[in-house]
Amino acid sequence: YPHPAVAHEPVIEAVASKLRGEGLHPFHLPQAVDMHEGGTCIRCKTCDGFACRLGAKNDAEVRLVDPALATGNVDLVLNTKVLRLLTDPSGSRVDAVEVEDDGRTRVINGDLFISAAGAINSAALLLRSANDKHKNGLGNNQSDLLGRNYMAHNNTAMMAIHPIRKNPVTFQKTLCINDFYFENAVRPYPLGNIQGLGKLQAGMLTARVKWAPEWAMGYFADRSVDWWIMSEDVPDPENRVSVDP
């Protein structure tokens, strides 16, 4: 990495030290934030789950899309849904896309197409693009794997609450544990990853649990260390993306 790891704050450093004492291997979570000497990130409390008002998250928009648009060589077409990829008559090459915008359907031709519509919608697009040469969806004639073995992240937010001691952390999401990522001798399947969650605040909890009083949620949030537990589906051919005929 070009920059040093994002440092733990004291509470998280203490947790990391205790986990190491238990024989685990916690490490610094790699972060795509511009947090380094001379960087634009101010290490604030509203990173996880919020847009950055300083443009200090190194996401696709900040680092790629906006600079590409600034060259003047790129057109970004908004509010346009790709319906199907269209192949040449031989079925060996995609030479156009059919799109829908403002209720109109039109075709855009091109030399090169990249499908980057996400795990579900890329598969759905290829399935929708079935034609005479690709009856089960583009590129799916032989394997029938298109859209199958979908592996979702089954996420859990966990609060570890100390009844009295406060957690004054600002930027909590610096710690990561992969000790349970893979299968092992007692478990023939992987479990996933555990990482720090951006510090939970009272309003985030009352947004989910409407009946909960703000003062009580504030009490818990002030005293919790918060975790994001990202367990994963194991591959199953029947856990799949499909499209209506």
Ligand X SMILES: Cc1cc2nc3c(=O)[nH]c(=O)nc-3n(C[C@H](O)[C@H](O)[C@H](O)COP(=O)(O)OP(=O)(O)OC[C@H]3O[C@@H](n4cnc5c(N)ncnc54)[C@H](O)[C@@H]3O)c2cc1C
Return residues touching ligand SF4 (CB under 6 A).
33, 35, 41-44, 46-47, 52, 54, 56-57, 171
Residue selected from 40, 46, 58, 121 as contacting ligand X according to rule CB under 6 A: 121
Cβ 195 vs Cβ 227: under 8 Å: yes
Binder among 4, 67, 91, 118 for ligand X (CB under 6 A): 118
Residue with smaller CB distance to ligand SF4, 41 or 85: 41
- By CB under 6 A, tell whether 178 contacts ligand X: no
Count of alpha carbons within 13 angstroms of residue 143, beta-carbon side:
9
The rounded Cα 124 to chain-centroid distance in angstroms is 19
One of 3, 20, 25, 81 touching ligand X (CB under 6 A): 81
Contact of residue 82 among ligand SF4, ligand X, none (CB under 5-8 Å per partner type): ligand X
Report strand pairing: 224-232 vs 153-161.
antiparallel
Q: Which one of 114-122, 179-187, 203-211, 217-225 is the stretch in contact with ligand X (CB under 6 A)?
A: 114-122
CA 50 to CA 44: how far, in whole Å? 11
- The whole-angstrom separation of Cα 72 and Cα 84 is 28
Region of 88-96, 113-121, 199-207, 217-225 interacting with ligand X (CB under 6 A): 113-121
- Contacts of residue 205, defined as CB under 8 A and 6 or more positions apart, other chains included, come to 212, 217, 220, 221
Q: Which of 116, 164, 185, 186 binds ligand X (CB under 6 A)?
A: 116
Stretch that binds ligand X, among 1-9, 111-119, 207-215, 217-225 (CB under 6 A): 111-119
Binding part of the chain for ligand X, among 64-72, 112-120, 139-147, 179-187 by CB under 6 A, reads 112-120
* Sign of the Cα pseudo-torsion (43, 49, 54, 56, in order): positive
Which one of ligand X, ligand SF4, none interacts with residue 116, CB within 5 to 8 A by kind? Answer: ligand X
Contact of residue 117 among ligand X, ligand SF4, none (CB under 5-8 Å per partner type) = ligand X
Partner touching 204 among ligand X, ligand SF4, none, CB below 5 to 8 Å by kind: none
State the Cα angle at 16 between 14 and 17, rounded to 5°.
65
For position 82 contacting ligand X by CB under 6 A, the verdict is: yes
Nearer to ligand SF4, 42 or 145 (CB): 42
Residue 84, binding choice from ligand SF4, ligand X, none, Cβ under 5 to 8 Å by partner class? none
Beta bridge partners of 228: 157, 195
Which residues of this chain interact with ligand X, rule CB under 6 A?
Answer: 81-82, 116-118, 121, 125
